[in-house]
Structure 1
Amino acid sequence: MRAEALLALLEEERRLLLAADWDALEGLWPRKAAALGGLAGATPAEGARLAEGLARNQALLAAAAEGVREALRRRAALREAQQLVTYDATGVRSPREACPPRLERRA
């Protein structure tokens, strides 16, 4: 019976991952940890289903983490693109903040 409860939690976790509901995911961890504690008597078939659900959710978590890393890389690239590098008369590098883009309206 504990295996069924954990399977239901894994399905809920999958749904939350796909919906990117990070706040609700945070509240799921204590329930998941409690359900894992009672798996000593799980059958091999239940263990296989649990392993499948865990692997599926692990892939979703890895993809979400990669998405966050990519967003951070893009933000850093945008920040770097806003830096204007100039050199003074003696050849010393002098980074400066570029002007923010202006909105230009044309009729």
Structure 2
Amino acid sequence: MVDAPALAALLEEERRLILDGSWGDLQALAQHKAAGLDALRHAEPEELAPLARSLSRNQALLAAAIEGVREALRRRAALAAARKGLVTYNAQGTRAEVPVAPPRIERKA
């Protein structure tokens, strides 16, 4: 028999870790979660419904976190491209790059 309350508590802990951004702890939790899910093969359908909701909720949270990381990477790439200079095109369609001078920092005593 599956210990559904223990697995439900594990899924709630996973949710908390996702919301906190504790990615290292999530990786450690994954083995326990896999073992708990593996034990569900012989579970009764009524035990699975609440667990399915928790799994679905956590999956949506993880998908949102992954999209957030992707967006951050896109933003970093855009900022790096902007630091390299401005790319523009003239009336003939020829590409022209306008270099950007690095910011000067002045120290005043």
Fold shared by both chains (TM-score > 0.5)? yes
Root-mean-square deviation over aligned CA pairs: 2.5
Q: TM-score, normalised by structure 1?
A: 0.79
Aligned to 2:91: none
What's 1:21 paired with?
22
1:17·1:25 contact (CA, 8 Å) conserved in 2? Answer: yes
* Distance (Å, rounded) in 1 between the aligned partners of 2:63 and 2:48: 22
User: Structure 2 regions of 5+ residues with no counterpart?
Assistant: 89-93
Unaligned runs of 5+ in 1: 87-91
Q: How far off is 1:36 after superposition? A: 1.2
- Render the CA deviation track for 1:18-75: whole Å, top value 9, x for unaligned: 0000010011111111111211332222210011000000010010001001000100
1:82 is the counterpart of 2:83: yes
Amino acid at match of 2:21: A
> What's the TM-score, normalizing by structure 2?
0.78
In structure 1, distance between residues paired with 2:50 and 2:25: 24
Query: SS at the partner of 1:73?
Result: helix
Task: Give 3-state SS (helix, strand or coil) of 1:39's partner.
Answer: helix
Q: Which amino acid aligns with 1:69?
A: R
Query: What is the Cα deviation at residue 81 of structure 1?
Result: 0.5
Aligned residues: 102
User: What is the deviation of 1:93?
Assistant: 5.7
* Aligned-residue offset at 1:78: 0.3
Aligned counterparts, 1:1-107, within 5 A: 1-84=2-85, 85=87, 98-103=100-105
Query: Matched residues in 1 for 2:104 and 2:15: separation?
Result: 43
In 1: Cα distance, 2:19 partner to 2:105 partner:
36
Deviation for aligned residue 1:2: 2.3
Segment drifting more, 2-11 vs 18-27 = 2-11
Query: Alignment partner of 1:76: what SS?
Result: helix
